[in-house]
């Protein structure tokens, strides 16, 4: 994910967490808030409850790649929070959760021709 598309400052994370709207399933929580930038920015959170550093970094890398491949509507700040169950999830299961939650949140740009989501679940 490009640097300009990342949430970095703790104030931005706090603003989205407190004022943003959220959607969740058993693996992930996605919160979105109004962003001040022309493009949407994404921040990934994996606490120590998820696992050790190796596990947390693996989950973060997977989520960054999944979010990078999505066609996200511009103008939002998005925080993706991994729950403890995410440590046992495969790449495909995480992708499925992200696609479901971003669809419910209205974050994904729809394809005008078919009316379906522009990006489908990617399997590796």
| Distance between CA atoms of residues 54 and 100, nearest Å | 26
- The pTM (predicted TM-score) of the whole model is 0.83
Q: What is the pLDDT of residues 91-116, one digit of tens each?
A: 999 999 999 999 999 888 874 444 44
Q: What is the pLDDT of residues 52-84, one digit of tens each?
A: 999 999 999 999 999 999 888 888 999 999 999
pLDDT at 61: 95
Percentage of the chain modeled with pLDDT above 90: 56
> φ, ψ for residue 9 (rounded to 5)?
-80, 140
Instruction: Output the six-digit token pair for 12.
Output: 């931005």
Largest CA distance in the chain: 44
């Amino acid at each position: 994910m490009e640097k300009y598309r990342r949430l970095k400052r703790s104030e931005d994370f706090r603003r989205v967490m407190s004022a943003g709207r959220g959607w969740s399933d058993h693996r992930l929580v996605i919160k979105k808030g109004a962003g001040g930038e022309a493009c949407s920015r994404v921040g990934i959170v994996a606490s120590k409850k998820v696992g050790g550093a190796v596990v947390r970094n693996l989950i973060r890398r997977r989520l960054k790649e999944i979010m990078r491949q999505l066609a996200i509507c511009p103008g939002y700040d998005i925080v993706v929070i991994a729950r403890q169950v995410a440590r046992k999830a495969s790449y495909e299961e995480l992708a499925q959760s992200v696609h479901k939650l971003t669809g419910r949140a209205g974050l994904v740009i729809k394809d005008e021709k078919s009316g379906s989501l522009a990006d489908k679940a990617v399997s590796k």
